[in-house]
């Protein structure tokens, strides 16, 4: 299977072939994702919540994002590797933001970066793409805006919000984004935006009419600890599998049935004979 690239994702939209995307934050899960043939692996700043246990995505740093991305990089051979720019890494000035985008490419091997926001990011996106770094946009429910939004709420519900999100999507395409994540918006709005853009839309909580879908790996595997959002489909109960295995392991250790003799190393015959002399 051929390497997924920015141009090959654009071509998928033209051919109306759905784009599959998922998050991964570590070598092992990224290998499974890549070997399963998904198109896009995102090292999302959602790792602040699912890997680090923070309440929202705001605390994770550039250095932490780079650390996780490097592990994922060693695993991913075919998928396109996108890294999320964390909160604060692109909000001060465009020079610093560009320097941070470059760090993802140079220090962690990311092939593209993602950042949240609409029109207000257009100039920055122009600068990053001019530096040869592909940018994925992200509008709608943008988790880094949690305090402004007053929680994680579906966006694009009023006529004004709908118009603004359509304008934002067009501004991101115009600024040079190669794809846009649409998160937490009515499916009808995602449908409209998907038809208005030449670049692919990747939906999460945005209905089935997007050009692609993305989920947080830990959500779809039931490796998160709060009730899932409406848009999460549980494809496996990995936490349940692990819980059971851990309980059995603990039982076996306490009952001294683990390890068995066959799971142990032994003296060689030579040493055994010397011991008996």
By the criterion CB under 6 A, which residues form the site for ligand KIV?
Answer: 23, 42, 44-46, 84, 181, 183, 204, 214, 216
114 known ligand binder: yes
Which value, to the nearest 10 degrees, does the dihedral of the CA atoms of residues 49, 55, 58, 62 take? -40
Nearest distance in Å: CB 251, Na ion = 39
179 makes contact, choosing from ligand KIV, Na ion, none, with CB < 5 to 8 Å by partner type, with: none
Nearer Cβ to ligand KIV, position 173 or 219?
219
247/34 Cα distance (integer angstroms)? 30
CA distances from 168 to 197, 252, 263 (A): 11, 57, 60
Nearest distance in Å: CB 214, ligand KIV = 5
Residue nearest to ligand KIV as judged by C-beta position: 44
Nearer Cβ to Na ion, position 139 or 221?
139
- Is residue 30 within 8 Å of 71, Cβ to Cβ? yes
- Is residue 202 within 8 Å of 183, Cβ to Cβ? no
226 known ligand binder: no
Nearer Cβ to ligand KIV, position 138 or 191?
138
CA distances from 116 to 23, 77, 138, 202 (A): 16, 26, 5, 13
216 makes contact, choosing from ligand KIV, Na ion, none, with CB < 5 to 8 Å by partner type, with: ligand KIV
Active site residues: 183
Judged by CB under 5 A, which of 44, 118, 184, 203 binds Na ion?
44
46 known ligand binder: yes
93 known ligand binder: no
Does position 45 interact with Na ion (CB under 5 A)? The reply is: yes
Nearer Cβ to ligand KIV, position 124 or 143?
143
Choose one: 7-15, 44-52, 185-193, 268-276; the region binding Na ion (CB under 5 A).
Answer: 44-52
**Cis preceding-peptide flag for 259 (omega within 30 of 0):** yes
CA distances from 127 to 124, 139, 149, 174, 215 (A): 5, 19, 28, 13, 29
Distant-in-sequence, close-in-space partners of 175: CB < 8 Å, separation ≥ 6: 121, 122, 123, 125, 126, 129, 135
106 known ligand binder: no
- Is residue 29 within 8 Å of 50, Cβ to Cβ? no
Nearest distance in Å: CB 46, ligand KIV = 3
Q: Could you tell me which residues are beta bridge partners of residue 23?
A: 42
CA angle, 80 then 225 then 240, to 5°: 85
Nearest distance in Å: CB 47, ligand KIV = 7
How far is residue 270 CA from its own chain's centroid?
Answer: 55
Does position 219 interact with Na ion (CB under 5 A)? The reply is: no
| 77 to 116: interface string for Na ion, x by CB under 5 A | -------x--------------------------------
Does position 39 interact with Na ion (CB under 5 A)? The reply is: no
For tokens 């250095």, name the residue: 63
Interface with Na ion (CB under 5 A): 44-45, 84
Residues in the annotated binding site for 3-methyl-2-oxobutanoate: 45-46, 84, 114
């Amino acid at each position: 299977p051929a390497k997924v690239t920015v141009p090959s994702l654009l071509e998928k939209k033209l051919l109306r072939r759905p784009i599959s995307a998922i998050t991964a934050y570590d070598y092992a899960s990224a290998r499974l994702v890549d070997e399963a043939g998904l198109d896009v692996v995102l090292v999302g700043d959602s790792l602040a919540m699912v890997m680090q246990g923070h309440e929202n995505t705001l605390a994770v740093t550039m250095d932490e994002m780079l650390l996780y991305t490097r592990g994922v990089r060693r695993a991913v051979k075919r998928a396109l590797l996108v890294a999320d720019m964390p909160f604060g890494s692109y909000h001060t000035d465009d020079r610093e933001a560009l320097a941070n985008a470059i760090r993802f490419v140079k220090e962690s091997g990311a092939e593209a970066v993602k950042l949240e926001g609409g029109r207000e990011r257009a100039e920055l996106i122009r600068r990053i793409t001019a530096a040869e770094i592909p940018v994925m946009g992200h509008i709608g429910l943008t988790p880094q805006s949690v305090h402004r939004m007053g929680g994680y709420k579906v966006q694009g519900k009023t006529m004004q919000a709908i118009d603004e999100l359509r304008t934002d999507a067009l501004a991101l395409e115009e600024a040079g984004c190669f794809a846009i994540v649409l998160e937490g918006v009515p499916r009808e709005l995602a449908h409209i935006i998907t038809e208005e853009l030449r670049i692919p839309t990747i939906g999460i909580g945005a209905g089935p009419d997007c050009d692609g879908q993305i989920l947080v790996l830990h959500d779809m595997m039931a490796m998160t600890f709060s009730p899932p959002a409406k848009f999460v489909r549980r494809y496996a109960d990995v936490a349940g599998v692990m819980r059971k295995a851990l309980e059995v392991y603990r039982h076996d250790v306490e009952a001294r049935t683990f390890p068995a003799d066959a799971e142990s190393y032994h003296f060689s015959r030579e040493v055994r004979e010397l011991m008996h002399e």
